[in-house]
Amino acid sequence: MKRTQKGPKPFGGPPRKLFEEDDGGIDAPVRGPLFPRPVFFGLLAVFCISLMLTADWFGLLLLNPRVSERIGTLNTVRVMAVLMAGIAAPSALLMLHYRRLYSYVSEHNVFFAITFSLSFMLGLPCALVGVFG
């Protein structure tokens, strides 16, 4: 018995050849921004200011090691945890924003995913030591 009903193709069409060019289709549908423009610019500003302050803090600790002696090791770790949280929180929200706008592999989303993971991996131990230390 022959099947006459045609259903959707499971993989979206015929297979492509090895060096066939992409048809230019988008990876994910564009749904619109997650945050309104003022919130988006506020997140970008918090991200950039936290990134600048973190770079200044690392530079201060590298150039003048007596800073940690003066304010204490525990307070040094707490400041580092706050600065890393200032990078991790906006980058996670911006990652969600760009995931909604474009594909999950867009360069903006990849950048904020990397900055979130790095700041989270550096900031979580500092926060745990700062809280329980």
Is the pLDDT reported for residue 33 higher than 80? no
Which pLDDT score, from 0 to 100, does residue 5 have? Answer: 55
Structure tokens at 89: 């929180």
pLDDT exceeding 70 applies to what percent of the chain?
A: 68
- Chain mean position to CA 87: 9
Boundaries of domain holding 83: 37-132
Predicted TM-score of the model (pTM) = 0.65
- Looking at residue 1, the DSSP 8-state letter turns out to be -
- Which has the higher per-residue pLDDT, 123 or 18? 123
- Chain mean position to CA 98: 10
Does residue 108 fall inside a structural domain? yes
Does residue 113 fall inside a structural domain? yes
Mean pLDDT of all residues in 69-82? 87
Does residue 31 fall inside a structural domain? no
Identity of the highest mean pLDDT range in 41-50, 95-104, 107-116:
41-50
Domain tally, the chain:
1
